[in-house]
Structure 1
């Protein structure tokens, strides 16, 4: 009887492992926090592996920590969308379009540098720490509302989404009454099930609103980041694009970290107790949750020239998919990586990316998580899931992993 070769089997003619036929995306059943199991096997066998993309492109998949980090830091790899091949089915026909105006994620230097320099000073550690009092106030307001509404709520809707939404809207000078619009549009843009038409409509609606907001800020500046930027050399179109980029980046990611992080803690009672009993552990807890969950799980780069890495030759114009979720579970960098350990010093994780494109708002996200998670656990010491873990709806088909809803309950005093 003839057996089909394993997808990891070496080619008998070259001795090299056959290219992957697709990017592994199916997570283990019953393990809502673990990456696809196949990624670990690939990482151990070959941290840089040939992979066939849905459009037929022969590119690469990087899964090892040192490999992924090296590519992030290497200027020979481009972040321009139009040079990339999309690694998942359902990508735009004819390839990815160039980055919209203001979207720094899809730019290379010097264009990226111009935007980054203007914005970096607005998101320093010091400035974000100055926001702590406001984050604490907003957090307490939502905990009060939960207590009045409870003892059962959807934590995503009642707590995880509104906190970062309010903060980023205040930073940009967007009326808080509009935050639901931006959250809905951000979800549309990150949901892999959204059609190209739906994504385009969400982005267009966002840009039209922000363009009008920019004109209002130029005419009557207020104390916010968008008004500050009107004194720069950015055009109205560029300002609207930057605003949309920051809103999209600052809402969905942090909201999912708060919600999915709570889910992970509720599923690991010993770690939950450690954080609740020692709020001083919050800094380490945030870094470990970022590593362990890696909700922004995948990135893409394109080689601008031939690059030799890990003994392999990546040729110019070849796309490399970076699996940050696999890299952050690499045992060569993080011992016992599949265990959530809030006492671990998880510095160096790739949850915020690495290199010149490392998350601009990472300090803001840290402040929000450092405040929100301990406050939630302290206010509701009996907090628990209101449904079995397997019934929590997961955002499986999204570029930002997490939960759609997180039904929780607690004992009323």
Structure 2
């Protein structure tokens, strides 16, 4: 088989995204929407606040009467507004979050006042401007305002905003069904019972953990033997999945059978090999089922290669299908704490540890070294043919953040 030339990372991601079909929309209660992505823009069904409120504890007075003295005529508490109006020379005791009485346009802080029975005098500063301590009607949002765009991931603050704006249910994409397949005769399912010629099957658990950072239902299959029949049977067991991801067997060796098994199963190769290191032999295939396109990602078997390609392809694909507005991981610029060598023709992602100011590349960058992956919190982005870099030089890094969910 003639190997196609590897393609650049961003081109490969765009080709992958072009295959992704958004998942159907469903409506769930706000509490059940946490971690999901908003499928449509959300508009407020009410105004927040619905009227002028006090932002502090103090006394409400008219705007033209800020020097006093005043006579205290009542109280406005949160949930219990003062029923009357405020006139010049009058003041209403008011709590934070309470509704301003009619004609009151200023709140004077309680520590700036002295009270003797119902007599109130100013001993501190007047509010400047007069409405400084007032939360005006609509300060947060008005009815019909767009409060969240489509593609926002619902977290605690977003859930609170949805409820505050009058929503009990939210439109989100349904949970994604993902199958994770380990393949390789050398894999041992039980890490406590691993012969010398075997290695524990860790990639499947790693990929499953990555995927579960998103709203996915994961079906783990394997380890699967390196035979065409076993792999084809594994694909058939995953036939109801939206996305299938395999680890191992995606290259062109005598025992790399993922592509032949996919073709035997009826899938079609879209592209194969990306110009990155680690992770070059990634493949992407599709299979039509019940009017929808299943996407199959074949990742390399070396654990770091599998992680890096999952970070740059699997997670962005899942985010895109789930409706995220930002599917690809974010980068930041930082500075090197140790020199790194010049790079070759493939874009390389080096494991490193970032302390908030500088990044220290890991010494061992072998694609089988899980210890340095687990000790890293960033991937240092080295463009193809990048020259050697020295201590203090700027570099771009991808944040891993608890397993690459950035």
Range of TM-score over shorter length = under 0.3
Question: What is the TM-score of this pair, normalised by structure 1?
Answer: 0.21
Q: Specify which structure has the bigger relative contact order, considering alpha-carbon pairs within 8 angstroms and separated by 6 or more residues.
A: 1
Highest CA radius of gyration, 1 or 2? 2
Q: Counting strand residues as a fraction of each chain, which structure ranks higher?
A: 2
Q: Counting helix residues as a fraction of each chain, which structure ranks higher?
A: 1
